Structure 1
Amino acid sequence: MVTLYDHRNQPIRPAELKGEPQTARLSHLHREFAEHPSRGLTPAKLARIFEDAESGDLIAQAQLAEDMEEKDAHLYAELQKRKLAVLAVDWDLRPPVEASAKEIEATSHVETLLRELDMDGVLLDLAAGILPGYAGIEIDWDYSAGQWFPQGLHYRPADWFMTAQDARDELRLRTPDGQGEALRPWGWIVHRHRAKSGYVARGGLVRVLAWPFLFRNYAARDLAEFLEIYGLPLRLGHYPPGSSAEEKATLMRAVAGIGHAAAGIIPEGMRIEFQEAAKGASDPFTAMMSWAEKSMSKAILGGTLGSQTDGGGAYALGEIHDRMRLEIRHADLRQIAATLTRQLVTPLLRLNTGVERVPALVFDAEEPEDLKLYAESLPKLVQAGLRIPARWAREKLKIPAPDEGEEVLSLAASPLSEPTALRTMVAASAARPVSDAQAGQLALLEQQAHAPLAQMLEVVRRKVEQAASLEELRDSLLDAWPQMDSDQLAEVMAQALAAAAMAGRYEILEGL
């Protein structure tokens, strides 16, 4: 029996895949609830969370990432842009290079299985690893009718995992003994999403975004406190000597509450004095919040023009940011495609087909080129003698090659570019051999049309040679058109059409 191996070169025992999922035995993971480490977050506490993660304890860092996404609307919105960009791209399964007929058939079979899955859900779950740096999906395999198929793909929270002291790049399931349990081969899709190089604990965006998240919360809290007292006068309570602690507490409550209730009572002999109203501005707080949000946008999307323009920005800057956004999306797609190829396509292929060489899951992320620009420039380049492969043009324009016998688009009629087209036009109206009388008439029409048509084509030829761009050629032709003498050509064309109509009537009357 052939022994199968996973992407980590660990042997596969198909009998183990038929059982219950691995996490079903780790009941403590299902009973845990998040501790929300963002509560009371301080720089010192954040530093401790990061240090614990580096030592293998990923719980607090993973839960902090969840809190950040839930509590900060700006951070959530920017992350959603990046996640949803993954779902907007089509994918397919490509056979290995110089694939055999059996490999092509196996690729088609596996792609059919993949399209039966909720791939949008899988992609969204894997993209969730952008923030913590990793994402885990547990595969619940089903075997029936000689076919292996994932009957369930279950996302597992990031705080269910840990790393060992001696293997900081290996994710394991947390166990009560603190040693962790190795993930079952072919039982998981574990995506390492590297925002930067480093161990698992240091590879996610959470470590970059946590600091602006913290300072933004400080600024928001301070702004709320400022708005609560802004415009209110300072209230000073005066109590007579010998007042008891209870009387002092009563005066303090009256001083604190009078700003909101605009009314209050105090014991006789005490008084409240109002000082100048609180002054200040909210600018420092909003400046800090704006800095934090811009930092988040830069870290997640590579720039801020997609989120904030501050009343400025130029088209060129927008183009640069758009290219950066596409580069980030392409990088995300390449990482996810590599994970799916190793940990989902490979098991489906090996378990169901026995084929060795693995097809690659590929995202079609390239943008189609400008059809209008290529339609105008390619014919001229071909006429100039440049040999352009049709395959290259199809890839650039995202136009697939037609299958054998498939209906294709075609022009309704070819443009008249030569005087001899007059003969073709008149002869086609009868669909019969041209008689001697018709041949003589056609020859006369060609002779009359040659001079005016040649003159017009010469003007066009000179404009093409002189133009430095397609736009300049278009404008020069529009300017030259009123000066072109088309009256003589129009008269010849009218005679040709009349002759064709008369020839058709004659054949109808003669029953030809």
Structure 2
Amino acid sequence: MAIFDQFGTPLPPHGNRERLGATVSGYRPALSDPIATSGLNPTDAAALLQSAAEGNSSDWQTLCELIEERDLHYLGVISTRKRSVAQLPITVEAAGASAKQKQAADFVQKWLDKGIFQRSAFDILDAIAKGFSVHEIIWHCEAGNYYPKKLIYRPQRWFEISYQDGETIWLRADDVKGSKKARPSIKDAVAEPMMQPLDPELPLHTAILHGLA
């Protein structure tokens, strides 16, 4: 259905299209990173750890994926922790006794009953191993009834951590202006463990592994 402005002219549908998704090449490859297929040797591992210590998170995220694929004990520990949390029951309580607060709680409960969050919980908990997890939110848009209808997991290697504050998550992007980074449009679309592994005073790989110990 077209949307018209005050002059009856149809508005362009560019706002409904995905602007920053996977790419065949560039900063957000649709397929695995080359290092995942070329193998890993001690020299490469040392270089990746040094890169992570200097604040470069992309190679570290790829290394995390390799460790999960090749170290079955590590994979088992991580998977157990994810499933233990993902299977916990979720309860919703109204923030107060007013009708509006009860209505808000009922709205959230009905959304949870759709199972949208539960289906994404395991991937959201990927932040346990990698420091953060990002999901793209696809909205159900209906007058007076807006809610997230789908949460799409996006690989951490598509993102970069700000060198300035060690906390802000930037989307790696290729655009005609030469910019390589853009901030996710939804502030709360990024999940981070409460241990705050993105502390700028602590190297990325040290903080994450410390949280897993």
Which bracket does the TM-score occupy, shorter chain normalised? 0.7 to 0.9
C-alpha RMSD of the superposition = 3.2
Counterparts of 2:73 and 2:85, CA distance in 1? 19
The higher-RCO structure (CA 8 Å, 6+ apart) is 2
- Whether the 8 Å CA contact 1:125–1:135 is kept in 2: the answer is yes
Alignment partner, residue 391 of structure 1: none
Larger Rg: 1
1:100 and 2:123 correspond? no
User: Cα deviations across residues 433-460 of structure 1 (Å, max 9, x unaligned)?
Assistant: xxxxxxxxxxxxxxxxxxxxxxxxxxxx
CA pair 134-197 structure 1, distance change in 2 beyond 3 A: closer
SS at match of 1:94: coil
Among 136, 144, 151, the alignment partner of 1:153 is: 151
Counterparts of 1:25 and 1:46, CA distance in 2? 26
SS at match of 2:126: helix
CA pair 22-116 structure 1, distance change in 2 beyond 3 A: farther
Letter in 1 for 2:16: G
Counterparts of 1:47 and 1:178, CA distance in 2? 29
SS at match of 2:130: coil
Counterparts of 1:87 and 1:208, CA distance in 2? 21
- Whether the 8 Å CA contact 1:139–1:153 is kept in 2: the answer is yes
- Whether the 8 Å CA contact 1:134–1:204 is kept in 2: the answer is no
Alignment partner, residue 73 of structure 1: 72
Counterparts of 1:69 and 1:206, CA distance in 2? 18
SS at match of 1:208: helix
Deviation at 1:199, TM superposition (A): 3.0
1:40 and 2:40 correspond? yes
- Whether the 8 Å CA contact 1:22–1:184 is kept in 2: the answer is no
Deviation at 1:195, TM superposition (A): 4.9
User: Cα deviations across residues 201-260 of structure 1 (Å, max 9, x unaligned)?
Assistant: 845678538xxxxxxxxxxxxxxxxxxxxxxxxxxxxxxxxxxxxxxxxxxxxxxxxxxx
Alignment partner, residue 208 of structure 1: 209
Letter in 2 for 1:52: S
CA pair 179-55 structure 1, distance change in 2 beyond 3 A: farther
Counterparts of 1:161 and 1:205, CA distance in 2? 19
User: Cα deviations across residues 28-64 of structure 1 (Å, max 9, x unaligned)?
Assistant: 424453123582331x533421332344432210011
Residues 11-410 of structure 1: pairs in structure 2 closer than 5 A = 19-24=16-21, 28=26, 29-36=28-35, 39-42=39-42, 44-96=43-95, 98-176=96-174, 177=178, 179-185=180-186, 189-195=189-195, 197-199=197-199, 202=203, 208=209, 300=212
Counterparts of 2:22 and 2:82, CA distance in 1? 32
- Whether the 8 Å CA contact 1:137–1:153 is kept in 2: the answer is yes
Alignment partner, residue 4 of structure 2: none
TM-score, length-normalised on structure 1? 0.34
Deviation at 1:110, TM superposition (A): 2.1
SS at match of 2:149: strand
- Whether the 8 Å CA contact 2:116–2:149 is kept in 1: the answer is no
Alignment partner, residue 243 of structure 1: none
Counterparts of 1:78 and 1:174, CA distance in 2? 30
Letter in 2 for 1:83: K
CA pair 167-206 structure 1, distance change in 2 beyond 3 A: closer
Higher helix share: 1
Q: Percent identity?
A: 20
Counterparts of 2:91 and 2:134, CA distance in 1? 23
Deviation at 1:70, TM superposition (A): 0.8
Report how many aligned residue pairs link the two structures: 194
Deviation at 1:116, TM superposition (A): 1.2
CA pair 111-205 structure 1, distance change in 2 beyond 3 A: farther
